[in-house]
Structure 1
């Protein structure tokens, strides 16, 4: 697995950390998972 981390901006302008993970497994198509940590979402909602 390879992971990249970054920052996105929500429509209200809050910055939230995010990640993207490339997943390769045998006998299934490759996939790309995008994720937002729940703690980061909670902090952004309080702003």
Structure 2
């Protein structure tokens, strides 16, 4: 899954949904720790 796709989800999800979405992707191994930190720092 690429960063652009994940960021596009931010447009359609609420902040809480987006936070859960990013955390879920990290938990299942779809995101590296670095990308998870970068994406969640936008919250």
TM-score higher than 0.5: no
Write 1 or 2 for the structure with the bigger share of helix.
2
Q: Which has the larger radius of gyration?
A: 1
TM-score band (shorter)? Answer: 0.3 to 0.5
The one of the two structures with greater contact order (alpha-carbon pairs below 8 A, sep at least 6) is 2
TM-score by length of 1: 0.32
